[in-house]
Amino acid sequence: MTATSKTIVFFGNERLVSGLKTTDAPILRGLIAEGYHIAAVVSHHTDGISRSNRKLEVAEIAHSHNIPLLLPDKPSAIIDELKKYSAIAAVLVAYGRIIPQSVIDIFPKGIINIHPSLLPKYRGPTPIETVIKNGDTETGVSIMQLTAGMDEGPVYAQLSIPLRGNETKMALYTEIAHKSAKLLLQSLPGILAGTLRPVPQDNSAATYSHLLKKEEALLDTKKMSASEAERTIRAYLGFPKSKLTINGHLVVVTKAHVSHTQKTPLDIICRDGAFVTVDELVAPSGRHMTGEAFLRGYAAA
C-alpha cells in the first residue's frame, strides 16, 4: 500500500457497552501497530473525558502518539479539517453520534464501522447487553460500511462467537473488542484495495436493541423468570445496574444464580416460581460485599 492508502481517521471511544470503566482500546492500538497512519482521532466527549469523568483511552493514545484529537459538538463542524487529511477511509468504533452523509463522503473508501453483533441481528446501541439478557447461544462482530441508516450498511466480514451462558457484560465486551481488532486488521487491506466487497444485509431479518435507561435498573421479578432476572443482572452490570430490595434495603445486585428453594431473604421469588439468589451486591453504604455479609450487617428495616 502507498502511504496515502494507509491514512485513516479514527472515530469513537471503543467503549462498546454503557458503564464500561476502562478499555485498552485494542482496535486503535492495532491500527497503529500495523503501520496505519492515524491522521486524527475524533470523539465527542469534552477534553477527552467520558460522561463519568474518566479519561478516554483513545484520547490518551492520541496524545502519546502525537495524533490530533478532535472533539466537535457534531461531526459536520469539522468537515473542512477532515478534508485536509486526505484519508482514504475512516474507522468508527462506538462514536455515539449520527454521522451525516456529507462526512462519510469525504473518504474515498467511506467509513468502516465495527458493530458487536451478527448483523442484521441487534442493530442499535446495546447489542452486547441484549444478547446476554436474551440468553442467546452465540453473538459476533460485523465489519460493515457505514450508511445513513442505523447499522443498515452492507457487511464486509463477520465472525461468530459462541456463548457459554455465564458471560458478564464486561467480559463479553473484552472478548468481542479483541476479536474485532483482529478481524478488522485482516479485512482492512482488502477493503482499502477494493478486492473485498460488502454484502447487503437482509433488512427483513433485522432486529433492534434499545438505549438503556436508569429506570430499567429495578428488577421486576414478578414479571421475570429467575433465569431472565439472572441474565439481566449480568447484562446490566455497570449501567443501568440491577436493583432489588432485600431486608427492606435497596441494593445493587452484581452476581446471582438461579435456585429452586428459598432459604434466606437473598432468595427472591420470580414469576416462574424459581428464585434468583443474590451472591454479591453493593450495599446502601456503597460497599461491595457478599450476600451473606449483607445479611449479617443489615437488619430488616
Cell 414479571 belongs to 223
Q: What is the pLDDT of residues 73-94, one digit of tens each?
A: 999 999 999 999 999 999 999 8
| End residue of a domain, out of 162, 180, 205 | 205
In angstroms, rounded to a whole number, what is the distance separating the alpha carbons of residues 296 and 127?
A: 38
Q: What is the DSSP string of 180-206?
A: HHHHHHHHHHHHHHT-S--B---GGG-
Q: Do residue 50 and residue 128 come from a single domain? A: yes
pLDDT of residue 97: 86
What mean pLDDT do residues 6-19 have? 80
Q: Is the pLDDT of residue 24 over 90?
A: no
Q: Do residue 83 and residue 218 come from a single domain? A: no
| End residue of a domain, out of 171, 205, 239 | 205
Q: Do residue 91 and residue 176 come from a single domain? A: yes
- C-alpha neighbours within 13 Å on the C-beta side of residue 242: 26
CATH number of the domain encompassing residue 185: 3.40.50.170
Nearest to 88 by CA among 113, 100, 106: 106
In angstroms, rounded to a whole number, what is the distance separating the alpha carbons of residues 111 and 156?
A: 12
DSSP label at residue 246: E
Q: 43 phi and psi, to 5 degrees?
A: -130, 175
Q: Is the pLDDT of residue 207 over 90?
A: yes
Q: Do residue 235 and residue 104 come from a single domain? A: no
Q: Do residue 18 and residue 133 come from a single domain? A: yes
pLDDT of residue 212: 95
Cell 427472591 belongs to 268
Q: What is the pLDDT of residues 245-277, one digit of tens each?
A: 999 999 999 999 999 999 999 999 999 999 999
Q: What is the pLDDT of residues 36-72, one digit of tens each?
A: 999 999 997 654 454 444 578 899 999 999 999 999 9
| pLDDT bracket for residue 301 (50, 70, 90) | low
Q: Do residue 39 and residue 139 come from a single domain? A: yes
Q: Do residue 201 and residue 241 come from a single domain? A: no
Element (H, E) at 83: helix 79-84
Q: What is the mean pLDDT of the chain?
A: 92
- Distances in Å between the Cα of 44 and the Cα atoms of 84, 148, 277 are 20, 19, 40
Q: Is the pLDDT of residue 283 over 50?
A: yes
CATH number of the domain encompassing residue 283: 3.10.25.10
Q: Do residue 159 and residue 62 come from a single domain? A: yes
When divided into structural domains, the chain yields a total of 2
pLDDT of residue 281: 97
pLDDT of residue 210: 95
- C-alpha neighbours within 13 Å on the C-beta side of residue 144: 24
Report if pTM > 0.75. Answer: yes
Write out the three cell numbers for 295: 445479611
| End residue of a domain, out of 205, 224, 247 | 205
What mean pLDDT do residues 97-110 have? 95
Beta bridge partners of residue 278, listed in sequence order: 256
Q: Do residue 231 and residue 255 come from a single domain? A: yes
Q: Domain of residue 98: give its range.
A: 4-205
Q: Do residue 79 and residue 47 come from a single domain? A: yes
Q: Do residue 194 and residue 229 come from a single domain? A: no
Q: Is the pLDDT of residue 35 over 50?
A: yes
Nearest to 119 by CA among 173, 198, 17: 198
Q: Do residue 32 and residue 154 come from a single domain? A: yes
**Contact assessment for residue 28 and residue 10, using Cβ atoms and an 8 Å cutoff:** yes
Nearest to 89 by CA among 106, 102, 101, 75: 106
Q: Is the pLDDT of residue 5 over 90?
A: no
Ranges 18-27, 44-53, 114-123: which has the least confidence: 44-53
pLDDT of residue 22: 55
pLDDT of residue 235: 97
pLDDT of residue 23: 66
